[in-house]
Structure formats: C-alpha cells, structure tokens
Amino acid sequence: MAFRVAVPAMVAALVTLFGAPVRAQERVDVALVLAVDVSRSMSYEELRIQREGYAAAISSPQVVRAIGQGAYRRIAITLFEWAANVHANEIIGWTIIESQADADAVAAELLATRSFGERRTSISGAIHHATGLLETAPLLADRRVIDISGDGPNNQGVPVTEARDEAVAKGITINGLPMMTRDGFAQQFHIDDLDRYYTKCVIGGPGAFMVPVNDWDQFAEAVRRKLVMEIGQVEEAAPRVVPAQFILEEPYDCLIGEKIWQQRGWQFDDFDR
C-alpha cells in the first residue's frame, strides 16, 4: 500500500535533483534509503571503493532494467553517510530514477566528492535518520526500504533492535550489507559473525534480507545484486543471500558492540571508532 505524505509545494520544489525531478505525491515503485557506513574503522582506500561501488551499482544496466520492470517504472532514492548517531551527511537527496541517464547522473554526483571517516558506529542512529527521511518524503511509494551497510556492530546510541522495531512497525523494510572485511583501523572492534548480527539484530520487515561482503573486490557486485532484489523483488541466484529469521532460535546478544566499546573504548578517547 502506498504511503501518503502531505508536503508544501515550496518544500517539494527544494528537493535536491540529480536525476529526474521529484514532484510532490509522485508515485514510485519503491522509496529506497541507502545508509552508508563511514566510521573510522575504514581506511581512505576502503571509503573510496565503497563510494565507487555504489556509483557503479546504481548506474549498472541490470539495476536500470529492474527499475523498468516495475508498475510505475521509476524509483526514488536518497543516500547519506553515517557514523555516530549525530552524524548523517546527505550525499544524494530524494531523486527519481527512471532511465539510464538518471542513474548515470546519480553515479556522477557520487563520484564528484569523497567520503571522510567519522567517529563511532551508531546503526540505530542511521536507522532513525533513514526512517525520518521516509516518513517525510514527498512521494507515494508502494514499498519503503532502508538499505544499511556497516563493518561493525552498533556501539553508540539506543540499542539497534529498538530502532529496527520502530521502523518495522511503520511498515518499513530494513536490508543489510554487512562488510566482513578485516582491513583498516580498530579491528579489535570487529566481530567474526557480523553477518549473523545483522540477521538477528539489524534487518527486519517484509521480505528483509542481507548480503554479506567478505572481500572489497566483491563490494560493487554485492551492492548491484542487492539493489536488483530490492527494486524488483527478484531473487537472483547468488550465494549468501540470507533472509530475516523470525523463528526463535538460540539467543543472540544484540548489545555485543556496546559491550566491546565499554571494555576497550577507553583506548580510543581521541580517535573513536
């Protein structure tokens, strides 16, 4: 069911445009928020690969083809970079993509600037910010999706399950892209089962899934595959696409990131992860 948000004409006119214009109450198949982790555990090179990976995925022919197969043949996206719960840097404002030219324009905008690492890791803060963007979007969307990437567990802000459950209660789906890489700074804050953490603690809602990235060489392809699935609700034949699990299994500690920070965070008072 489409969600409806009344937006004054002046607000709608101020929406940042990189692809096609966003008109108030315009119908799209999906409103997609891309929430990208830029915590300081990632090196400058990793941040570059990540930014270029999103640009390559968004402008890929497979993604554009998936958009064209929808009921309205258009989607709306916005992309912001996050770290602490007070850091959310908008890179792409709400933008309509319905053609290859639109997708190419978004990719060019992503490549026009660079990412900068910021302190701490608040997945819950990113979910709250993304939820607010969806709640106030000047669009009519059949589906609302948050696509969140990250290389570590939540270690700041409210518990991630609290933010997830609030978003899911509003009919929003949260998908995950856990980065299982072990390069970069502050490896002692990583957890070996980040993919399981995302499955148990981060993703949720109708059709939720996560796609882990084990090597940076896989990043662009993983994002492309994930976007195709989110846009077209098409399950590509690919390993390690894990759906949300709602069946009660053995308990999982969704506060593991906060506990690791309490134990080791004092070492990084001047260089927070």
Please name the residue that has the structure tokens 């759906």. Answer: 243
Beta-bridge partner residues of 174:
146, 204
Neighbouring CB atoms inside 10 A of 135's CB total 13
CB distance 79 to 36 below 8 Å: yes
- Terminal-residue alpha carbon distance, the chain: 39
What is the predicted pLDDT for the residue at 189? Answer: 60
What is the predicted pLDDT for the residue at 116? Answer: 87
Total-model pTM: 0.83
Query: Mean pLDDT for the chain?
Result: 82
Q: Does 204 map to a domain?
A: yes
Exposure class string for 37-74: b at 16+ Cβ within 10 A, else e = bbbbbbeeebbebbbebbbbbbbbeebbebbeebebeb
Domain containing 130 equals: 29-264
Nearest to 110 by CA among 30, 42, 186, 49: 49
Q: Does 223 map to a domain?
A: yes
Overall average pLDDT of the 152-158 stretch: 89
> What's 88's domain CATH number?
3.40.50.410
What is the predicted pLDDT for the residue at 155? Answer: 86
What is the predicted pLDDT for the residue at 163? Answer: 95
Report d(CA 255, CA 80) in Å as an integer: 25
Q: Does 259 map to a domain?
A: yes
Do strands 242-243 and 173-178 pair parallel, antiparallel, or not at all (unpaired)? Answer: unpaired
Map 36-96 to HEC letters. Answer: EECECCCCHHHHHHHHHHHHHHHCCHHHHHHHHCCCCCCEEEEEEEECCCCCEEEEEEEEE
Which helix (H) or strand (E) element contains residue 157?
Answer: none
Would the pLDDT of 142 be above 60?
Answer: yes
- CA torsion through residues 135, 139, 142, 145, sign: negative
Report d(CA 10, CA 256) in Å as an integer: 44
Of the pLDDT bands very low, low, confident and very high (cuts 50, 70, 90), residue 44 is confident
Segment 229-268, tens digit of pLDDT: 999 865 554 445 666 655 446 678 888 766 776 775 545 4
Q: Does 178 map to a domain?
A: yes
Of the pLDDT bands very low, low, confident and very high (cuts 50, 70, 90), residue 18 is very low
Q: Does 229 map to a domain?
A: yes
Which helix (H) or strand (E) element contains residue 127?
Answer: helix 123-135
Of the pLDDT bands very low, low, confident and very high (cuts 50, 70, 90), residue 9 is very low
Q: Does 8 map to a domain?
A: no
Least confident of 4-13, 56-65, 113-122, 130-139: 4-13
Q: Does 2 map to a domain?
A: no
Segment 177-218, tens digit of pLDDT: 998 876 655 555 678 889 999 999 999 999 899 999 988 898
Residue 245, amino acid: Q
3-class DSSP assignment, residue 161: helix
Overall average pLDDT of the 61-73 stretch: 96
* Domain count across the chain: 1
Q: What is the largest CA-CA distance in the chain?
A: 52
Size of the chain in residues: 273
Return the percentage of the chain with pLDDT > 70, whole number.
75
Q: Does 244 map to a domain?
A: yes
Of the pLDDT bands very low, low, confident and very high (cuts 50, 70, 90), residue 12 is very low
Neighbouring CB atoms inside 10 A of 132's CB total 12
The burial of 233, by beta-carbon neighbours within 10 Å (0-12 exposed, 13-18 middle, 19 or more buried), is given as middle
